[in-house]
Structure 1
Amino acid sequence: MNKGKLIVYVLSIIFMMSCKNENKEASLTQIKTKVTAKDILGNPEYLAISYGGYREKTRDSQPTIAELKEDLKILSAMGVKLLRTYNVQPKLPHASNVLKAISELKTEDENFEMYVMLGAWIDCLNAWTDKEPNHNIESPNNAGEIKRAVALANQYPDIVKIIAVGNEAMVKWATSYYVQPEVILKWVKHLQDLKKQEKLPKDLWITSSDDFASWGGGEDKYHVEDLNELIKSVDFISMHTYPYHNTHYNPEFWGVPEAHTNMPDTTKIEMAMERALKFAQKQYDSVTNYMKSLGVNKPIHIGETGWATTSTGHYGPNGSKATDEYKQGLYYKLMRRWTKSAGISCFYFEAFNEQWKDAHNPNGSENHFGLFTIDGKAKYPIWDLVDKGIFDGLTRNGNTITKTYNGDKKALFKDVLVPPSEEEIMANR
């Protein structure tokens, strides 16, 4: 082959490879734009988490777009691609600002990928007032909440892939605000009708996010026809399970058996956390069984589960002794391992501590479910990610991402408590 032919041959190869790469990039871009809830949910490549970006003791102080983007970059570095938000109330623009922040990050970086399960808050008449809540009549505010969720889903169809109608809105221990299933059913059907009328994206999935009991996995009092119809109407079930809270309310699984008395403390703790996982799996199975008893077979994902790291109440040193970062780390890894292998999305609760949840009690457990502290320290469950350097160059509130306890496991273990024995639990019941 002469020199001229060789040059032409090489150039043609380069041209073909270039075209191939361009086609591949175009194909990847096309795939990204077509990603739907069906593609995301249950997909281990799309790690899910519950997210609130509030830093202060009141939600009147909203996080800025810059602060939200700071958080989103941290979560993205972890592999999180699916967020859950909780409301779209007019005085709380958190969710709409999260969507705006994601949109801006996508513009700044074409490879940035993040989606949202958008929550619409639902409650009953007189909820959160000095009047008696009327659980049989819904709040007049619900219609506006749904309308705003629809508007945001249409404004950001590339980001909002799911709308969740209500958060623990049917469970009867939510005495301040719960509604009857017919209210959730009404709004779910309304959103499904909007999809049929092409007033919402047809591939947008609709659900409600509620306690396992509300989905039929608990007492018979929840087994009503409106719930059965709701199960048939949603695109998937988003259920909550909290072994953490049940270490106080239903602690039979939590106590250290007599046969384990002489085991090392770490072994007692690890086995207790294995039982906690089985407790969650049992609740998941109970919802599955109820759904199938209705002749329905659709996906069930975990809308919430988590483990707090500080408590002065039911779960602390004078309670079930469930609370510390070591147990949180074990629970986080056990839940992620199980749900990934089972094809279940798990909106782990939650990304960052939020101190508004129990503003008058700084050490209340509700303030301490985050994988990160408010000032950006990574708790024990994700110390390994700090070691891997995935947070290098990222900050929260101006702080680089470092480990709690300065990464000293011995210091951490000074705050770790062994669960009580079965005998102690029975004596305190």
Structure 2
Amino acid sequence: MARRPAAVALAVALLLLLLPAPVAAAAAAAVGVNWGTMMSHPIHPSAVVEMLRANGVDRVKLFDADPWTVAALAGSGVQAMLAAPNDQLESLTRDPRRARDWVRHNVTANLNAGVDVRYVAVGNEPFLKSYNGSFINITFPALKNMQKALNEAGFGQRIKVVVPLNADIYSSPENKPVPSAGSFRKDINDLMVDIVNFLHANNAPFVVNIYPFLSLYQNPNFPLNFSFFDGATKPVYDQGMVYANVFDANFDTLVWSLRKAGVPDMRIIVGEVGWPTDGNKNANVKYAQRFYSGFLKKMAKNVGTPLRPGHMEVYLFALIDENQKSVLPGRFERHWGLFTYDGKPKFSIDLRGNGKVNYLAEVKGVQYLPSQWCVFNKDAKDKYKDLPASVNYACSNADCTPLGYGSSCNGLSHDGNISYAFNIYFQTMDQDVRACSFGGLAKITTTNASQGGCLFPVQILSVSGRVVPLIFLHLSLVLLVSVFTLL
């Protein structure tokens, strides 16, 4: 959704801090990042772009074409993949003029402003099984209309139209779980054959999102070490190929699927790959660092996969944590960021592939709200009367995912769980004193309420000038069960 900075003075102050600097040397492999903006308190895009440049990141993948975000890329030297979200597919299919308008407003205008647009993504994972076929009949027509619009605007050779797809569009049978047995899903096989041949005819790549973490999350019997790249598990053998990790096996399953679809040499971009740091027992900093360490070493060596050795173009998922993402896939969904909500790196990695493991450069100029927290008032009268409803309300309107089983704040006490819920709501509401009342059950303190490895955050000053209401009711029934076991 579009966001605009309302506080002009703040914007000017931030921009004064963002003096031009040369882009650092690019990494050995083509490693970009996914930049999502589904957070209640966004960081100024210009500050984010300067952080990207400081870390040598020269390409980003966006999930829309929000003018405020895209404008910050102008003249930066950072390549961009813009996107038309799934909710625009129907209009793009129904009326080709919508595609022409989209190209005029989002491609032509941004190119003229100095944004280096390289790709236009039509939809995002539109064939996910969880969508129950909602976008199956409209994705390909939208893709063709967008390609035609780019051609008419004179950009067809320079900018490629793609469809980022989840790895659930292909698989191998259970009785033969090896890459060579892979093919596209039966329900979309004919459609996928049409799409990949269309993309190939236009010299466009296939964009796939691969998540080793999800293999582990979705299958309790999945071997943990097969998710990583340090050779600590038994390999899989397939027609003379050796697979020591699930990423290679998954990628080559796609290669086989493309072969069977008649495009064996089609270029592949990994649109999303990463590891979350909270929201699940296997989502933590330790495993994320282990994953990225092995993955980035692999990218720097340009070894590719057994079937596709050599250079790969990949986009890490994701740049910054997003507290407004849906948690229907899992509570970890809001914790994929390499950076925390306030633009600080979570762990040290070798992003550039030069053998130096360091913390990434943080976002500069981030301002915080006052150092105060909202906590449970143990002295409140009738403190247990309205407590469940109050915690329910707080967690329905703010992000309580760290309280879930296996998460960073799962070990809090009875009172700690309550305080976390009250504080995260208080911070989300920009520390409005009315957001720390709950009928007298809460109080404001200047003593840091964080406990052990559980951070009670102080929110940043939002440069959008507003707080977007958080409606997380679909989370409550699942999350609050685990919270109330301690109440």
TM-score, L = length of structure 2: 0.55
Answering whether residue 236 of structure 2 is matched by residue 236 of structure 1, we say: no
Report how far residue 255 of structure 1 moved: 4.7
1:190 and 2:154 are equivalent in the alignment: no
Counterpart selection for 1:324 from 264, 280, 284: 284
Structure 2 match to 1:116: 80
- Cα distance, 1:273 vs structure 2: 12
Corresponding residue of 2:72 = 101
- Asked if residue 334 in structure 1 is aligned to residue 294 in structure 2, the reply is yes
Deviation at 1:188, TM superposition (A): 1.9
Give the one of 264, 279, 288 matched to 2:246.
279
User: Of 153, 161, 166, which residue of structure 2 is paired with 1:211?
Assistant: 166
Distance 1:253 1:268 in 2: 15
1:354 maps to 322
Equivalent residues of 1:46, 1:80 under 8 A apart: no
> What is the deviation of 1:283?
1.2
Task: Give the AA of the match of 1:238.
Answer: V
Instruction: Trace 1:302-317 onto structure 2 (pairs within 5 A).
Output: 302-311=270-279, 315-316=280-281
SS in 1 for 2:82: strand
Distance 1:45 1:334, change over 3 A: closer
Compared CA separation, residues 279 and 120, structure 1 to 2 (3 A): same
Q: How far apart are the structure 1 equivalents of 2:322 and 2:225?
A: 32
How many residues align? The count is: 309
Letter matched to residue 57 of structure 2: V
Q: Which residue of 1 is the match for residue 366 of structure 2?
A: 397
The reply on whether 1:150 has 2:106 as its aligned counterpart is no
Residue in structure 1 matching 2:58, options 78, 81, 84: 81
Equivalent positions of 1:26-41 (< 5 A) are none
SS in 1 for 2:324: coil
C-alpha distance in 2 between matches for 1:277 and 1:351:
27
Name the % identity.
17
Instruction: Please tell me whether residue 48 in structure 1 is matched to residue 32 in structure 2.
Output: yes
> Secondary structure in 1 aligned to 2:73?
helix
Q: Give yes or no for contact 1:310–1:324 (8 Å, CA) kept in 2.
A: yes
Query: How far apart, in 1, do the equivalents of 2:213 and 2:266 lie?
Result: 27
Shift of the alpha carbon at 1:225?
Answer: 1.8
Cα offset for 1:96? 2.0
Aligned residue type for 1:155 = A
Q: Which amino acid aligns with 2:286?
A: Y
CA deviations 1:321-372 (Å, max 9, x no partner) are x1110110111122223344121111111011111114899x9311111001
Report Cα offsets for 1:212-232 as digits up to 9, x if no partner.
232675664245222101001
Q: In structure 2, what residue type is equivalent to 1:96? A: P
Picking from 313, 320, 333, the partner of 1:366 is: 333
| Pairwise CA distance, 1:287 | 0.8
The secondary structure found in structure 1 opposite 2:232 is helix
Distance 2:71 2:121 in 1: 19
CA distance in 2, matches of 1:375, 1:174: 32
Q: 1:388 to 1:309 in 2, by over 3 A?
A: closer
Computed over aligned residues only, the root mean square deviation of the Cα atoms, in angstroms, reads 4.0
1:227 is the counterpart of 2:183:
no
SS in 2 for 1:80: coil
**CA distance 1:270–1:380, change in 2 (3 Å):** farther
Q: How does the TM-score come out when normalised to structure 1?
A: 0.62
- The residue matched to 1:156 in structure 2 has which SS? helix
Partner residue of 2:175?
none
Residue 160 (str. 1) matches residue 117 (str. 2) = yes
Of residues 75-84 and 376-385 in structure 1, the stretch that sits farther from structure 2 once superposed is 376-385
State the alpha-carbon separation in 2 of the partners of residues 256 and 345 from structure 1.
Answer: 24
* Deviating more after overlay: 191-200 vs 234-243: 191-200
Q: CA deviation at 1:303?
A: 0.7
The answer as to whether partners of 2:170 and 2:185 remain within 8 angstroms in 1 is no
Retained in 1: the 8 A contact 2:342–2:366?
yes
**One-letter amino acid of the counterpart of residue 214, structure 2:** H
Q: Is the Cα contact below 8 Å between 2:275 and 2:336 reproduced in 1? A: yes
**What CA distance in whole angstroms lies between the structure 1 residues aligned with 2:101 and 2:191?**
25
Counterpart contact for 2:322–2:341, Cα < 8 Å? yes
**Structure 1 contact 332–381 (Cα < 8 Å) conserved:** no
Picking from 135, 147, 155, the partner of 1:200 is 155
Tell me which residue corresponds to 1:18.
Answer: none
Give the letter for the 2:293 counterpart: K
Distance 1:145 1:117, change over 3 A: farther
Check the 8 A contact 1:270/1:330 in 2, yes or no.
no
Q: Output the CA distance in 2 between the equivalents of 1:356 and 1:185.
A: 29
| Aligned-pair CA distance for 1:298 | 1.5
- Could you tell me which residue of structure 1 aligns to residue 262 of structure 2? 295
Letter in 1 for 2:232: M
Whether the aligned pair in 2 keeps the contact of 1:53 and 1:68 (CA below 8 Å) is no
Aligned-pair CA distance for 1:54: 4.6
1:171 maps to which of 128, 151, 167: 128
User: What are structure 1's unaligned runs of at least 5 residues?
Assistant: 1-31, 33-39, 89-94, 107-111, 125-137, 258-266, 317-321, 400-404, 406-412, 416-429
Instruction: Report the 3-state secondary structure (helix = DSSP H, G, I; strand = E; otherwise coil) of the residue aligned with 1:332.
Output: helix
**Secondary structure of the structure 1 residue equivalent to 2:119:** strand
Contact 1:309 1:369 in 2 (8 A): yes
CA distance in 1, matches of 2:92, 2:148: 20
Query: For 2:131, what is the secondary structure of its paired residue?
Result: coil
